[in-house]
Amino acid sequence: MKIERVYLGTWSQRTNLHLQEVYRFLKYAKGVDNLDETRVKALREAVRPSDVQFRNASINSLRAACGPFTVSVTEDGVVLMSSEETDLARAREALVQFHEKAYEPAMHYLFSRGAPMPKEIAAIEKDGDFLTVVRDAGDADVREVFEAFGDRYHSHASTEGIRVFTGHRIEIVDIGRMELTEEETEGFVRDLVFFKEFERQMYAYVRLHRVIWDELSSIRDARSLRYADFPSVRADIMRFEMTLGVVRARIAQMDDILGERRSGEPKGVTQILASLGMLDFGSLHASRRYVSHLWDMTDDYADDTLSLLETLYQENTQRELNALKFITLITAVTSFFGMNIAFPWEERWATNAGSSYQVVIIVTAIAFAVFYLLRALILNRRFELRGGKRAETVKVDVPTTKD
């Protein structure tokens, strides 16, 4: 078995606008407007790009040498980092270090302006796929490579001259004796990364949907909710809403990406993909539509939960206003009838001054006591969320999302 090249591939949805920004960063150390130029240059030096080329095609891309690695980026966000190191363990470790210590920090800062990326989405895009392109690998060679990484392949596809073994951590592409150009090999590997990452992100969105739905259900299904918990619960729901917005936008963009990728591959790559049964994007479209419907439901559920919370909040605000009106009225009446009790504006003021100040202190203390009592009652008032009239109920703790 001969090792041709080792790849680390990632996919984060991008556009041609992002690709041009990456190109300017790698080529000229120019970042997005209003970024720290000193930091941009330092991050570029860590990546060490040279021979940066922009390629116009159906799917635009760029390619650059970065020290011992080669990096290619497409406009739809597929990133390939490759090494010619023949020791798989060393190649993998070197690619991981380059990705985590150099390339990813640079991209994170380059796209740090604008709407922040929810941490749940950032976690989905953090991992990558390892692919090894080899020639003339026997079955024993394949098993040995997977065992070395503590993995085993769970699927196997083959066509004339090419075999693809897919595991949980790595993939092996045996091109046999087929003559492929470097561009064709890279295009084929890029599609493998795209297919695997597309499905992985769909699974991740389904899992994230379940997490958010369960968190919302824990709020809706609780018997009661304290008014004091409203701000934290509302903050959780607003965070869910932001995540929902980002995911829905990304899912909507996936249809465009699938359409472009179908029509943008070189003819040789297209034939290989078709032979392997990977050119039919029907299953990917079906998965995208299914996940899209799930997130529509989740978005509606979050909106309904937030509306319920806002209704309860407005009801309690009205109670606070009524309590404030009552205290104001009592204070005015007391002030009118009790002014001469505390301050008798007569000659006996000199002898009764001490008693008058005591009355003022007592009245003030009572006012503060009433205020804090009402405040405690309002903050600890519990709203019944399931059946019955809204009143104080048996205490039930409502779980909230923890970072």
HEC profile of 311-373: HHHHHHHHHHHHHHHHHHHHHHHHHHHHHHHHCCCCCCHHHHHHHHHHHHHHHHHHHHHHHHH
Q: Is the pLDDT assigned to residue 339 strictly greater than 70?
A: no
Q: What is the pLDDT of residues 182-215, one digit of tens each?
A: 787 888 888 888 888 888 888 888 888 888 888 8
Query: What is the structure's pLDDT at 403?
Result: 39
Q: What is the pLDDT of residues 50-98, one digit of tens each?
A: 999 998 887 889 999 999 999 999 998 899 999 988 888 899 899 999 9
Query: What is the structure's pLDDT at 26?
Result: 94
What are 391-400's contacts with CB under 8 Å, separation 24+?
A: 393/223, 393/224, 394/223, 394/224, 395/224, 396/222, 396/223, 396/224, 398/218, 398/219, 398/222, 398/224, 398/225, 398/226, 398/229, 398/233, 399/215, 399/218, 400/229, 400/232, 400/233, 400/236
Query: What is the structure's pLDDT at 46?
Result: 95
Percent of the chain scored above 90 by pLDDT? 17
Half-sphere exposure of 362 (CA within 13 A, CB side): 10
Query: What is the structure's pLDDT at 28?
Result: 92
Tell me the pLDDT of the chain averaged across its residues: 77
Q: 125: which strand partners?
A: none
Q: Is the pLDDT assigned to residue 263 strictly greater than 80?
A: no
Q: Is the pLDDT assigned to residue 380 strictly greater than 70?
A: no
Query: What is the structure's pLDDT at 73?
Result: 94
Average pLDDT over residues 363-389: 62
Q: Is the pLDDT assigned to residue 1 strictly greater than 50?
A: yes
Compare 167 and 68 and report the one with higher pLDDT.
68
Compare 288 and 48 and report the one with higher pLDDT.
48
Average pLDDT over residues 159-174: 83
Percent of the chain scored above 70 by pLDDT? 67
Query: What is the structure's pLDDT at 103?
Result: 94
Query: Which segment of 2-16, 55-69, 222-236 scores lowest on mean pLDDT?
Result: 222-236
Q: What is the pLDDT of residues 285-333, one digit of tens each?
A: 777 888 888 888 888 888 888 887 777 777 666 666 666 676 666 666 6
CA atoms of 24 and 44, how far apart (whole Å): 11
Alpha helices in 29-168 (DSSP H): 37-47, 88-98, 104-110, 119-124, 139-148
Q: Is the pLDDT assigned to residue 385 strictly greater than 60?
A: no
Q: Which amino acid is at 168?
A: H
